[in-house]
Amino acid sequence: MPLNITTDKKYIISSIIIFVFIVMLTKLFMLQIVEQSYKLSASNNVLRYIPQYPARGLIYDRNGDLIVCNQAAYDLMVIKNEVKAFDTTEFASILGINIDQIRASFSQIKRIKGYSPYKPSVFLKQISSKTYAVLQEKLYKFPGFDVQPRTLRTYPNKIAGHLFGYVGEVDEDMIAKNPYYQLGDYIGINGLEKSYEKEIRGKKGVKIFMVDVRSRIKGSYENGLYDTVAVVGQDITCTIDAKLQGYGEKLMANKIGSIVAIEPKTGEVLAMISSPTYDPELLVGRERTANYRTLQSDTLKPIFNRALMALYPPGSTFKIVNGLIGLQEGTVYPTTRYGCAGGYPIGRGVGCHIHPSPLSFTQAIQMSCNTYFCYVFRGIVDKPIFGSVENGFSVWKKHVESFGFGNRLNIDLPNELRGLVPSVSFYDRYFRKGGWNSLTIISLSIGQGELGTSPLQMANLSSIIANRGYYYSPHVVKEIKGKDGIDPKFTTKHITTIDSTWFNYVVEGMDMAVNGGAGGTALNAALPKIRICGKTGTAQNPHGADHSVFIAFAPKENPKIAIAVYIENAGFGGTWASPIASLMIEKYLADSISRPDLEKYIKDAVLLDRHARKK
């Protein structure tokens, strides 16, 4: 039977229905199976990832005293779309801000990357727990606002700002470099907080919530199956002795300079003072940026960590190094005597102060004779067997570098400087090739000229002498909770190129300088019960009065502390640096001060005039 018009139409209508059905199924197939982006959009709609911030690890001093801890703070969050008209005057007065600031904050959050009126944005950072207590009672009056707990640092002793560094919020650059960080995270920006960031920061957690179209939380996602708990940061015990550190900071009040004290047997830094210092509390929380700016504009540069970053000439303390190299190279003997009539007579000459003459090696160190060490230095560089001044100088440089000069000691703190030890090519450029000899560079013999050393390197020198020939890289962390031992680079012995027997003559000289009576340069450092060995220095400074330098260690046998003290523009090392070192040593070893008058005199001294002592 042929299809007539009527049956035809029945099938056409049915076909139209089936055709539309197939079109819809195809579209559904595209939406539900082919296209994946809708699943992501759905998660973005409904899932809210709330980071769980861990508290940073605590920091203890070497005696177990808590020196860096946490305080609760709260970030005030706002979901713009949920905010209803509220009493801005009351709100501002609770928060202790003015009304304009509220308006400013509202316009500011819109500029934050990833801002959404449906999601919480930080409205006001780091509200103190005191403010929070008041706010909490009245939060119901301000719909759309909520708080997120954070932790901030607090420093019970208010010491060692340079050492700890500070914590701040990550910026775009840091986020780009390290995907762990997200907007709003905290990160150690300087000091120990920076170098041990990974250990201290802990591990962020996340809570995943489901929210409805108005961002109201409707419950946890999959019953918290994908939530992670925040892991508190690891506690750190540092090598610092809080009492010694605090004492040093008091002694250095109104003085510019640095003290570094090291335990020679381990390389542990006992105290690291850079003066003027600042209260670490200033760099916490909302006022950090403003305070940082103020500190930065201070002409005395309190932010600058002189212990690691200031380079001074070592001055006469460097005679020890030259002496040791001479002994090692056999160009001077313990018994060698040189006469001194007010200076080294050859070339441009080097002046000397008045002292008995001639002097032996030990006496030359005790009385810090310039002439003696000019002979010693030239003896090394011009030693015939080396063939040329360049070769001789290179040998000298190699010895010097084995003391840790001219290179980073790799302390576990950021921003350590290498220091400066000149090289042959440096002099070839400075003069010309073949245009210099041992006389041209004679200043090196007394630690002046093209030498730059940090207080840390000088303390390390002191440590080397105390150990009679070796050192461990200075470090500030003794123990990380939950971790076995510290970085092996801090337990690796660095042995100098000088045989340990030669050190005994230097130690004798340093002993005599303090305890040897007439002619000693640091007699005011002597203590009745503790035998301190020390060496003064006076670092010439083209910009102002000489810097006062002193390195020392004690006790003479089995030393427990090695120290370097730099006081800028304070003149002769024996005047200011040596009594300060002596007080530090006494404080550390005896825990009491037998010379309160001296202590008071030092504490009260104001040495901030850079030119007062210029001769």
Smallest separation (angstroms) from Zn ion to the CB of 536: 14
By C-beta, is 192 or 512 nearer to Zn ion?
Answer: 512
Q: Which residues contact 252 (CB under 8 A, 6 or more apart)?
A: 259, 273, 275, 276, 277, 580
Kindly write down the DSSP assignment for every residue of 52-74, as one continuous string.
Answer: EPPPPPPEE-TTS-EEEEEEEEE
28 binds, among Zn ion, another protein, none (CB under 5 to 8 A by kind): another protein
Q: Residue 137 burial (CB < 10 Å; 0-12/13-18/19+)?
A: exposed
Smallest separation (angstroms) from Zn ion to the CB of 569: 25
Q: Which amino acid is at 191?
A: G
Smallest separation (angstroms) from Zn ion to the CB of 352: 3
Do the beta carbons of residue 72 and residue 149 sit within 8 Å?
yes
DSSP assignment letter at 546? P
By C-beta, is 213 or 606 nearer to another protein?
Answer: 213
Do the beta carbons of residue 453 and residue 260 sit within 8 Å?
no
Kindly write down the DSSP assignment for every residue of 472-525, as one continuous string.
Answer: E--BSEEEETTSSSS-GGGSSEEEPSS-HHHHHHHHHHHHHHHHS-TT-S-GGG
Do the beta carbons of residue 374 and residue 344 sit within 8 Å?
yes
| Rounded distance between C-alpha atoms, residue 347 and residue 382, angstroms | 15
Smallest separation (angstroms) from Zn ion to the CB of 240: 40
203 binds, among another protein, Zn ion, none (CB under 5 to 8 A by kind): none
Total number of residues shown for the chain: 615
Q: How many CB atoms lie within 10 A of CB 297?
A: 9
Smallest separation (angstroms) from Zn ion to the CB of 369: 3
- The token pair at 545 is 């009065």
By C-beta, is 33 or 518 nearer to another protein?
Answer: 33
| Rounded distance between C-alpha atoms, residue 510 and residue 521, angstroms | 9
Smallest separation (angstroms) from another protein to the CB of 42: 3
By C-beta, is 198 or 216 nearer to another protein?
Answer: 216
371 binds, among Zn ion, another protein, none (CB under 5 to 8 A by kind): Zn ion
46 binds, among another protein, Zn ion, none (CB under 5 to 8 A by kind): another protein
In 3D space, the residue among 549, 580, 579, 581 whose CA is nearest the CA of residue 566 turns out to be 549
By C-beta, is 6 or 592 nearer to another protein?
Answer: 6
Do the beta carbons of residue 322 and residue 541 sit within 8 Å?
no
By C-beta, is 25 or 590 nearer to another protein?
Answer: 25
In 3D space, the residue among 285, 86, 24, 23 whose CA is nearest the CA of residue 168 turns out to be 285
Smallest separation (angstroms) from another protein to the CB of 209: 11
By C-beta, is 369 or 551 nearer to Zn ion?
Answer: 369
By C-beta, is 220 or 266 nearer to another protein?
Answer: 220
Smallest separation (angstroms) from another protein to the CB of 46: 4
Distances (CA, A) of 21 to 18, 33, 588: 5, 17, 90
Smallest separation (angstroms) from Zn ion to the CB of 495: 32
Residues that bind another protein (CB under 8 A): 9-10, 12-14, 16-18, 20-21, 23-25, 27-29, 31-33, 35, 37-39, 41-43, 45-46, 210-214, 218-219
3 binds, among Zn ion, another protein, none (CB under 5 to 8 A by kind): none
Kindly write down the DSSP assignment for every residue of 203-271, as one continuous string.
Answer: B-EEEEEEE-TT--EEEEGGGGTT-B--BPPPPEEES--HHHHHHHHHHTTTB-EEEEEEETTTTEEEE
By C-beta, is 81 or 89 nearer to another protein?
Answer: 81
Smallest separation (angstroms) from Zn ion to the CB of 499: 27
Smallest separation (angstroms) from another protein to the CB of 275: 58
Smallest separation (angstroms) from Zn ion to the CB of 392: 23
369 binds, among another protein, Zn ion, none (CB under 5 to 8 A by kind): Zn ion
Do the beta carbons of residue 459 and residue 551 sit within 8 Å?
yes
By C-beta, is 118 or 386 nearer to another protein?
Answer: 118
| Rounded distance between C-alpha atoms, residue 609 and residue 545, angstroms | 9
Do the beta carbons of residue 279 and residue 158 sit within 8 Å?
yes
The helix (run of H) or strand (run of E) holding residue 381 is helix 370-381
By C-beta, is 79 or 321 nearer to another protein?
Answer: 79
By C-beta, is 37 or 107 nearer to another protein?
Answer: 37
Q: How far is CA 567 from the centre of its chain?
A: 20
Smallest separation (angstroms) from Zn ion to the CB of 517: 18
- The token pair at 6 is 């009527």
385 binds, among another protein, Zn ion, none (CB under 5 to 8 A by kind): none
Residues that bind Zn ion (CB under 5 A): 340, 352, 369, 371
39 binds, among another protein, Zn ion, none (CB under 5 to 8 A by kind): another protein
By C-beta, is 221 or 247 nearer to another protein?
Answer: 221
| Rounded distance between C-alpha atoms, residue 126 and residue 137, angstroms | 18
352 binds, among Zn ion, another protein, none (CB under 5 to 8 A by kind): Zn ion
